Amino acid sequence: MAALVENLRRIYFLLLCVGVWATGSRDIRYSLDDDVLSPYTGSYGSSHSHRYVRDCQPITHGNVTHETWPASNHSGSPVVESKMFMSDISTNSETPKWVSGHITVVHDPVRTVSVLEPGGPDGCEKSRRELVENTARTRKCLIAQNGGYFDTLSGHCLGNVVSDGRLVQNSRGLQNAQFGIKKDGTLVFGYLSEEDVLDEVNPFVQLISGVVWLLRAGEVYINESMQAECDRTQETGTFQRFVEVMSARTAVGHDVEGRLILFHVDGQTDRRGMNLWEVAEFLKKQGVVNAINLDGGGSATYVLNGSLASLPSDHCVEAMWRCPRAVSTVLCVHERLCQPEDCSQHGVCVDGQCECQPGWTGPTCANLTCQPAACGDHGMCTPDGCVCDAGWMGANCSQECAAGFYGDGCNQMCTCVNGGSCDSVHGRCSCPAGFYGDSCEEECPLGFYGLRCLQPCQCSDLCPCDPVTGSCNNTLHDQRNSSLHRGTDHISTLTPEHLISQWKIGVCFGWY
């Protein structure tokens, strides 16, 4: 009895611990959104026009307000490399300043990077907010980090959004730094007009908006960005602080090889992390050519293989814990995709290549192995190739069945004997002169000759003739004589005309 009480006590204690852990887990997953790092006090985005941005940029860039770069299309493994850093970013004159975060190198960005809506398709339309971990599961992301900005109250996605070729949101020419991937495999960084965003000749397949173009053509571009993206009513106030304050940060860029570079650094606004000047210099040292800043502060989240790998800066309900924030769009690195992903519904995507079902071919499995004209008049084109009519064979159904065979696939053998030939479709025997029957097994009865034994002999005295030629011959073979004399073995196969003729021949030879 004492042992039973002790066991019950232990079980109760275990259940109590599980309950406390579960309650703590719920608290840990609930962010207070208290580390908000916003570039604007009012509505999101610069109030400057695209023309203003174009005209105020350094003359060396002419009228081009964005930079393009051919994306790397390295097809080998691995798809992505993630590196964690813990670095002292101070100069020699400063006390050490240590930061930690992640650098991600994507070798084939066109086929392995997607902009995801929060929680999956239609997330922006529904103003959803979702943890990066949960959104990452919708596409089996190898690596995912938060992307564009959003309204923390309504959850509304901000800026331009194109996800896997689908225009989710058009910001109507809002002038903030953009990152996108075009259909032809070009990486795009910088400022875009509304016409650029809506280009139908070479459309965007991925597009997301940030704030501040960090690096342009290998050089720090923050001052120029501040002039282009700062709201007219703010001048430098809040926007200046946004650029210079220490905080958690995320960014996206590319190197000279066209590999996409994702950047994340842990932090907390005013206490630890990096300002944007430090981010730009850090990326420049890593060989990044163009880069833009994405949402930071409590939004900065890095997920590796489905699990949180960063240190959130938002507090939970219980102050001692830190919680990841439910955010908006996500940059996802996944296994290579085919274009289209479903291989035109006629194949399976394996490491970025379509493996077509039988009867389909081409890089997207969109073409039938045969075309209707290829099967001629004696076949039908199907996903399995030409299907030939009965009696025909060959890749294009142009060959009749070989002698002695008939039917579908020419795989049935004819049963004709005595030199008879069969129809290649149905196998019906065509008998030579002098024979009849289903298999041409019967010789013409006495008194008849020719094809199908329909011609009566014309011999005198009603004598029989040659069954093939009809020539008169009064000498009957013993076998035919005896067969005729026995008379009834095959009588059931003879027509009345044949029976009458048999009787007359018997009279001729004195049998009756």
CA distance 461 to 279: 123
List the domain boundaries for the chain.
Answer: 50-334, 441-473
Among 38-42, 218-222, 381-385, the range with the most confident prediction by mean pLDDT is 218-222
Note the pLDDT tens digit of each residue in 430-486: 999 999 999 999 999 888 999 989 999 988 877 888 899 889 865 554 444 444 443
Q: What percent of the chain has pLDDT over 70?
A: 85
pLDDT of residue 5 exceeding 60: no
What is the per-residue DSSP string for 386-454? EEEPTTEESTTS-EEPPTTEESGGG-EE----TT-EE-TTT--EEPPTTEESTTS-EEPPTTEESGGG-
The CA distances from residue 392 to 132, 222, 370, 410, in Å, are: 61, 74, 17, 7
Burial class, 276, CB count within 10 angstroms (exposed 0-12 / middle 13-18 / buried 19+): buried
Q: Which two tokens stand for residue 154?
A: 């309504």
CA distance 361 to 365: 5
- DSSP classification of residue 163: E
Note the pLDDT tens digit of each residue in 56-90: 899 999 999 999 999 998 888 899 999 999 999 98
Amino acid at 505: I
The CA distances from residue 140 to 114, 115, 307, 337, 351, in Å, are: 11, 13, 12, 12, 14
- The residues that bridge with 247 in the sheet, in sequence order, are 274
Q: At what angle do helices 276-285 and 237-244 cross, to 10 degrees?
A: 40
pLDDT of residue 375 exceeding 90: no
Burial 402-420 (b: 16+ CB within 10 A, else e): eeebbbeebebebebebeb
**Per-residue confidence band for 498, with pLDDT thresholds at 50, 70 and 90:** low
Nearest Cα to Cα of residue 165 among 202, 133, 196: 202
What is the per-residue DSSP string for 81-100? EEEEEEEE---TTS---EEE
Contact yes or no for 448/501 (Cβ under 8 A): yes
Phi and psi (nearest 5°) for 329? -70, 160
Residue 354's H or E segment, with its range, is strand 353-356
CA distance 221 to 356: 47
Amino acid at 118: P
User: What mean pLDDT is reported for the chain?
Assistant: 86
Contact yes or no for 33/314 (Cβ under 8 A): yes
Cis peptide before 340, with omega less than 30 degrees from 0?
A: yes
Q: Which residue has the higher pLDDT, 289 or 74?
A: 289
CA distance 378 to 400: 10
pTM of the model: 0.68
CA distance 412 to 237: 90
- The predicted pLDDT at position 369 comes to 77
**Per-residue confidence band for 230, with pLDDT thresholds at 50, 70 and 90:** confident
Over range 267-280, report the average pLDDT. Answer: 97
Q: Residue ranges of the alpha helices (H) in 172-325?
A: 194-197, 222-229, 237-244, 276-285
Contact yes or no for 144/305 (Cβ under 8 A): no
- The predicted pLDDT at position 497 comes to 56
Residue with tokens 């070798």: 107
